Structure 1
Amino acid sequence: MNTRLPGWALSENRKAITFRDKKGIGTLKLKGTYDLNHYNIKQIKRVRLVRRADGYYAQFAVDVDIKVETQPTLQVVGIDLGLKYFIADSKGSVEPSPQFYRKSEKQLNRANRKKSKKFSPARKKAKTRQSSNYHKARVRYARKHLRVSRQRKEYCKRVAHSVIQSNDLVAYEDLNVKNMVKNRHLAKSISDAGWSTFRQWLEYFGHKYGKVTVAVPPHNTSHNCSNCGEKVKKSLSTRTHVCPHCNYVADRDLNASINILRLGLTTVGHTGSYAWGDLPSWAVGASLLSNGESVNQEFPL
């Protein structure tokens, strides 16, 4: 070992890491597709181990400039986040909701029941370790949840990247997801949609490629008519916007996305917008990898 920093040391080929923090971890082999030889050792600011259901991962916080220069597309878009569609934009395009949790719900419930059957209340009362079969079932159940979570993350990442690459300005709703999931009738569907994850990737890619991402207040974006501006109240089950004032008819989500774009264009340069070159809130104090991943990029051991 010739590359040393306090607490840990990388091997010469940077395929193994040795922890020297007196925790007894020792040397671990690094597996993964990312090559640490691309970075100067001084760029690695922090290393930590993270446990997941399928094993341990080494997280490297690397100090690099992630910005990439791109040619303007001369396109702007407003995005409406929903449950019927994942997103509907002001150009009339929609992205279907993948519903990863819903599709895996039966398997998750089955795995949870198997785990519960192997749980021993007597062992818990006696404060002794549960059986090996219980822990195996618990790990299988956790891995299924982890798979759903990763599917959702990759989907949000792909869609956000596509939206940013195709537009110079992206306007979207500034949704308070934490309050929205308090609705017990919609909580599961909202959580499965992954709106917060999508927004994080949208803002990240916007910062990386120098595009404007602006969050606008969602109040009345679904009710106001995008053609005449009059308010047309409608229930959640009403999927078509029909304006009695100007006779404008459009899909509910399309109408909302046009309103969102209009608000976004009037908001640029004011509070709530991320102008070219400005640092969004998620990136304050964060260290990023040069390949565009955030600080918690996982390297399996």
Structure 2
Amino acid sequence: MFILEYKLRGKPKQFEAIDEGIRTVQFIRNKCVRYWMDSKSVGKSQVYKHTTTLRNEYPFVKNLNSTACQQAGERAWSAISKFYDNCKKQIKGKKGYPQFSKRTRSIEYKKSGWKLDRDDKRITFTDGNNIGTLKLIGSRDLYYFQEFQIQRVRIVRRADGYFCQFCLKLDVRDITPELPQTQKMVGIDVGLNWYYADSDGNFVKNPRYYRKAEKKLNRLNRLKSRKFKKGKPVSQNYLKAKKRYGKAHLKVSRQRVEFAKSLALRLIQSNDLIAYEDLKVKNLVRNSKLAKSINDAGWSELRKWIEYFGVKYRRLSIAVTPNYTSQDCFNCGKRIKKSLSTRTHVCSCGYIANRDTNASLNILRKATEGHSGSWSELLDLNAWGDLSSTVVGSNTCHSKTNR
């Protein structure tokens, strides 16, 4: 799926109608989950049929477009099927038992319930919620795609306004020119001291966006808390303070994403092969002393954009197991135990290097070892299939303590 996003401009009454539609989607989703909880023998088809029952029972549900109701049922079944999958895989700990949604922020239409005007850059929602016509604000030309390619239209509410997303069925490789081969490959090692170090000896500084904004965020949170009076109706001053606090968090999130996106694009354009670690960030953040710094770094964002641009520009991205990449010597292979505070790799063979540089060289070696063909054959390892990355190694490490 290829997503184009535009900001929506309209009247307050129209945004109130959007909020009502989002509340209805949350209501349908939670009702479907409750229906499954009361009788766990029901399957996917019964959950979807329950949305029709809700439309006949509640008038405000009937005002919502039928495809949006179906999509709300899909959200409920997605949570249920994920729980079933975790049970089948025998995942330890919590299995992700379906919970009731409290903070739904989007409503999604399929092929009906909306009408697009490309000339005036407007979209009209035609269901019973009376959202009406809204202006689309964005730089991308609406004639960039055909209307039949639009699979879904989604309205998303954020702290700084409402946005419309068009989900297009496109093959990004067909609309993107193929880049010439650079005959280069690189391994990257992400960290907290540096955002990442590569096998060429380059280092990228960690921006630490959340750490820099933490003082302001805490102040805005305190101001928000002062406006809240327990046992009394929510005031407009509290809603305004809540909006300012949400905007500040949204700014940090967008900074992190844009930074990762720019670095990933730079790596993809300058290398034919990019190797990185297959880290389980969800397990790494269990360390209470490092959780905030790990979340602030946004390693998952960097990997996501490397894989996306890799498919888009026909580059090969390989994920390797991170076992002992910082401990093993790149020159002789000897394993040298060292704590996280030791930032220089010193080996008895005489090889001395930065800890992260040594790790990035080991990552690149893991990604390419065992291959003795030509450069073009190496780049054909992924064969440009459905997978955006190739995971090298069967035993995935669940922590970074051994690195």
Fold similarity call, TM over 0.5 = yes
- Partners of 1:261 and 1:156 lie apart in 2 by 20
Matched-pair contact (CA < 8 Å) for 1:75–1:168:
yes
- Partners of 1:176 and 1:145 lie apart in 2 by 24
Deviations 1:229-269 (Å, cap 9, x if unpaired)?
0100100000000112x121100000000000000113789
- Partners of 1:155 and 1:200 lie apart in 2 by 13
Structure with higher Rg: it is: 2
Matched-pair contact (CA < 8 Å) for 1:207–1:276:
no
Structure 1 residues 84 and 267, CA gap change in structure 2 (3 angstroms): farther
Q: Name the stretch that deviates more: 147-156 or 56-65.
A: 56-65
3-state secondary structure, aligned to 1:122 = coil
Matched, 1:164 2:268: yes
| Corresponding position of 1:257 | 360
1:31 to 137, 154, 172: 137
| Corresponding position of 2:340 | 236
| Corresponding position of 1:9 | 115
1:70 to 179, 194, 211: 179
2:386 to 256, 260, 279: 279
| Corresponding position of 1:206 | 310
1:8 partner amino acid:
W
2:220 to 105, 111, 128: 111
| Corresponding position of 1:247 | 350
| Corresponding position of 1:47 | 153
Matched-pair contact (CA < 8 Å) for 1:76–1:169:
yes
3-state secondary structure, aligned to 1:79 = strand
Matched-pair contact (CA < 8 Å) for 2:317–2:388:
no
3-state secondary structure, aligned to 2:303 = helix
2:141 partner amino acid:
D
- Partners of 1:237 and 1:22 lie apart in 2 by 61
1:225 to 313, 316, 329: 329
Number of residue-to-residue matches in the alignment? 270
Matched-pair contact (CA < 8 Å) for 2:344–2:355:
yes
Aligned-CA RMSD value: 1.9
Q: TM-score, normalised on structure 1?
A: 0.86
Structure 1 residues 11 and 235, CA gap change in structure 2 (3 angstroms): same
| Corresponding position of 1:294 | none
| Corresponding position of 1:84 | 193
| Runs of 4+ displaced beyond 6 Å | none
3-state secondary structure, aligned to 2:123 = strand
| Corresponding position of 2:244 | 140
Deviations 1:73-127 (Å, cap 9, x if unpaired)?
000100000111111000001111010001111000110010011111122xxxx
1:58 to 138, 141, 164: 164
| Corresponding position of 1:185 | 289
Matched, 1:131 2:235: yes
- Partners of 1:12 and 1:59 lie apart in 2 by 15
Q: Name the stretch that deviates more: 49-58 or 8-17.
A: 8-17
**Displacement after TM superposition at 1:21 (Å):** 2.6
Percent identity between matched residues is 54
- Partners of 2:370 and 2:272 lie apart in 1 by 15
3-state secondary structure, aligned to 2:164 = strand
Q: TM-score, normalised on structure 2?
A: 0.65
- Partners of 2:229 and 2:188 lie apart in 1 by 49
Matched-pair contact (CA < 8 Å) for 2:197–2:357:
yes
- Partners of 1:221 and 1:96 lie apart in 2 by 21
Q: Which runs of 5+ in 2 are unaligned?
A: 1-110, 374-379, 390-403
- Partners of 1:276 and 1:19 lie apart in 2 by 42
Deviations 1:116-139 (Å, cap 9, x if unpaired)?
11111122xxxxx31110110000
